[in-house]
């Protein structure tokens, strides 16, 4: 057993293993403190409400999305969702991710190890994932497998490690394809560290790069082939969803535009409102991000000036710095039809927080534990980074708690009004039209909501298109109130809209906000809308 453990960690002695076990518990305790509210309470996003936070079966849907391993993991879990258990299990995987990443990136000093772990734990992508209660543990298991696939390539020089890495990466993609980006980004950081070390020859760097390429290509090919075989065997067609069905279909003609988009979206993520709202309040997020980028640039410059390197090696360093947006936004290239600005975009960009870790890796190269100016400057900046990320997550939790209370209040009002006005309501189909905020339930914390732009809390609890609105409300009634209604279909809604009856109705909870249409439909109007 000891030999097996030693193989996984590639360590010299059991005391080293003890150190990593202790680090795991440090990361796990920190993650529990940060996400305590999500462990104790249920803060689902609209997808989680729609798909269920209690019992979830979605075999054909997941296989159609190319996530056939989720279908298997759901089966093993018995389709039952215990939100506390799922979240704790997800945080176990997050803690393991932190342990292996500091191992891959050779982060040796305790202060840097803890700092890197906190930054990974506080990633907006992680916080978002934890609101997908029906699959968050599976998603983060996929994340973990992607990290492990890189670990084997970085720690073992053998054909078997390439094969094992490819298998792990293929399984990871068969759970959630976006974590391929994590593997690409980690390989990028690992090679960059090698280039900074003048004791490592270019031959060694090229060999390691070749190993990464071999493991990555084998993993992608294995995933694409196995996905086609599974779908063909089960006679399930691929589902067009966020572009993952076209994964790996590179279009060289579109490549220049895709590369340009990597830089544009990279900028938006850290400095604008287009993705995460970095302009909230006084623009503190964009300011802190700017300082981090200055540290990255300044650290790189100091390394190039003071370290003995060939001109060629310095050129490689500059080249690697210049392609950071491509490495971190690679999903735009390998999944070209994916829209990273879509509602779940932050979930598909788990790589972005690692820009802060890159800053730490560079600081490690010039500080060496010495308490000089860069040490204190780096400490101050990263204290700001942690405060920024922690505020972002805790603000989101507070808003989701508020919005769940609001949704619960409105839901019970809707049920009470329907039951008062309609006898035998279970014999009718229900059509809910509009959104709460556009009617008599306006946003109560607009500044807080705007500050959480593009993050999970900004999705609120109900999607705004017809099918998703009906699905979210019907599921919410069933799960959180114990009342079951049958939803109308889109054809029925079109008949209702064309009849002109909605124009004559008031917004709920006004007196004229509920009516019977065509003797079989209950119509409840929250606001004016046209789907």
- In this predicted structure, what is the pLDDT of residue 23? 96
pLDDT tens, residue by residue, 123-166 = 999 999 999 999 999 999 999 999 999 999 998 888 999 999 99
| pLDDT recorded at residue 248 | 62
What is the model's pLDDT at position 18? 84
| Domain spans, the chain | 2-369, 421-525
Q: Residue 418 pLDDT > 80, yes or no?
A: yes
The string of pLDDT tens digits covering residues 5-21 is 344 445 444 456 788 99
Helix (H) or strand (E) holding 43: none
Look at residue 9 in the predicted model and tell me its pLDDT. Answer: 47
Residues 401, 41: contact at Cβ < 8 Å?
A: yes
Question: What is the percent of the chain where pLDDT is above 90?
Answer: 80
pLDDT digits (tens, 9 = 90+) for 268-285: 999 999 999 999 877 899
Q: Are 390 and 301 within 8 A, CB to CB?
A: no
**HSE (side-chain half, CA atoms, 13 Å) at 220:** 21
Interatomic CA distance for residues 182 and 167, integer angstroms: 16
Residues 336-377: tens digit of each pLDDT:
888 888 777 799 999 999 999 999 999 998 876 566 777 788
Lowest mean pLDDT among 186-190, 233-237, 286-290, 527-531: 527-531
Rounded to whole angstroms, the Cα distance separating 425 from 430 reads 9
460: alpha, beta or left? (left if phi > 0; alpha if psi -120 to 50): left
- Picking from 137, 138, 156, 158, the residue whose alpha carbon sits closest to that of residue 148 is 156
Predicted TM-score (pTM) of the model is 0.94
Position 246 confidence tier, pLDDT thresholds 50, 70, 90: low
Q: What is the overall mean pLDDT for the chain?
A: 92
CA distances in angstroms from 149 to 61, 130, 170, 188, 255, listed in the order given: 27, 23, 9, 14, 27
Q: What are phi and psi of 516, to 5 degrees?
A: -100, 130
Q: What does the pLDDT look like over 456-481, one tens digit per residue? A: 999 999 998 999 999 999 999 999 99
Which is nearest to 323 in space by CA: 201, 192, 194? 192
Instruction: List the strands of the sheet with 521-525, edge to edge.
Output: 486-487, 429-433, 521-525, 514-517
Q: What is the DSSP letter of 479?
A: I
Farthest-apart Cα atoms in the chain, separation: 84
H-helix segments, 251-372: 255-271, 284-306, 311-322, 324-328, 331-334, 354-367
Q: Where are the beta strands (DSSP E) in 362-471?
A: 429-433
Q: Is 416 a residue whose pLDDT tops 90?
A: yes
CA distance 396 to 403: 10
Q: For residue 192, name the pLDDT band (cuts at 50, 70, 90).
A: very high
pLDDT value at position 191?
97
d(CA 447, CA 464): 21
pLDDT at 326 over 80: yes
Cβ neighbourhood burial of 442 (10 Å; 0-12, 13-18, 19+) = exposed
Q: Looking at residue 80, what DSSP letter applies?
A: B
* pLDDT given at position 5: 39
């Amino acid at each position: 057993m000891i030999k097996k453990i030693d193989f996984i960690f590639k360590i010299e002695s059991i005391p080293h293993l003890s150190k990593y076990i202790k680090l795991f518990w440090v990361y796990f305790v920190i993650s529990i403190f940060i996400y305590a509210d999500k462990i104790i309470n249920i803060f689902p996003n609209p997808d989680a409400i729609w798909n269920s936070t209690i019992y979830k079966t979605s075999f054909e849907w997941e296989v159609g999305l190319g996530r056939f391993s989720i279908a298997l993991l759901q089966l093993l879990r018995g389709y039952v969702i215990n939100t506390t258990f799922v979240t704790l299990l997800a945080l176990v995987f997050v803690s393991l991710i932190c342990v292996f990443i500091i191992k891959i990136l050779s982060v040796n000093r305790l202060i840097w190890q803890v700092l890197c772990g906190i930054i990974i734990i506080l990633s907006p992508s992680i916080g978002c994932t934890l609101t997908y209660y029906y699959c968050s543990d599976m998603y983060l298991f996929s994340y973990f497998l992607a990290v492990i696939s890189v670990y084997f390539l970085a720690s073992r020089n053998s054909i078997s490690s390439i094969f094992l890495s490819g298998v792990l990466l293929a399984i990871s993609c068969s759970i959630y394809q976006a974590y391929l980006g994590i593997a690409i980004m980690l390989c990028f950081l690992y090679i960059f560290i090698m280039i900074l070390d003048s004791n490592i020859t270019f031959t060694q760097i090229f060999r390691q790069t070749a190993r990464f390429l071999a493991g990555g290509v084998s993993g992608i090919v294995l995933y694409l082939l196995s996905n086609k075989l599974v779908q063909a065997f089960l006679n399930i067609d691929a589902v067009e969803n966020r572009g993952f069905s076209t994964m790996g279909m590179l279009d060289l003609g579109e490549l220049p535009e895709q590369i340009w988009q990597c830089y544009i979206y990279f900028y938006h993520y850290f400095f604008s409102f287009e993705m995460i709202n970095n302009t909230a309040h006084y623009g503190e997020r964009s300011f802190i991000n700017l300082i981090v980028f200055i540290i990255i640039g300044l650290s790189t410059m100091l390394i190039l000036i003071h370290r003995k390197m060939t001109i060629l090696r310095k050129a490689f360093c500059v080249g690697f710095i210049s392609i950071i947006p491509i490495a971190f936004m690679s999903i735009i290239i390998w999944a070209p039809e994916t829209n990273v600005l879509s509602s779940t975009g932050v979930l598909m960009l788990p790589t972005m927080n690692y820009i802060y870790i890159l800053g730490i890796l560079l600081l490690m190269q010039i500080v060496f534990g010495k308490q000089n100016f860069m040490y204190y400057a780096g400490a101050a900046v990263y204290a700001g980074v942690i405060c920024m990320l922690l505020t972002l997550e805790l603000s989101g939790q507070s808003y989701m708690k508020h919005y769940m209370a609001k949704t619960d209040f409105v839901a019970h009002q809707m049920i009470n009004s329907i039951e008062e006005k309609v006898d035998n309501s279970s014999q009718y189909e229900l059509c809910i039209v509009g959104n709460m905020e556009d009617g008599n339930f306006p946003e109560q914390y607009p500044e807080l909501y705007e500050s959480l732009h593009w993050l999970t809390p900004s999705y609120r609890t109900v999607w705004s298109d017809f099918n998703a609105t009906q699905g979210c409300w019907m599921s919410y009634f069933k799960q959180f109130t114990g009342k079951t209604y049958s939803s109308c279909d889109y054809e029925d809604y079109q008949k209702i809209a064309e009849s002109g009856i909605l124009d004559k109705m008031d917004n709920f909870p006004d007196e004229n906000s509920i009516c019977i249409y065509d003797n079989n439909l209950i119509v409840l109007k929250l606001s004016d809308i046209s789907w």
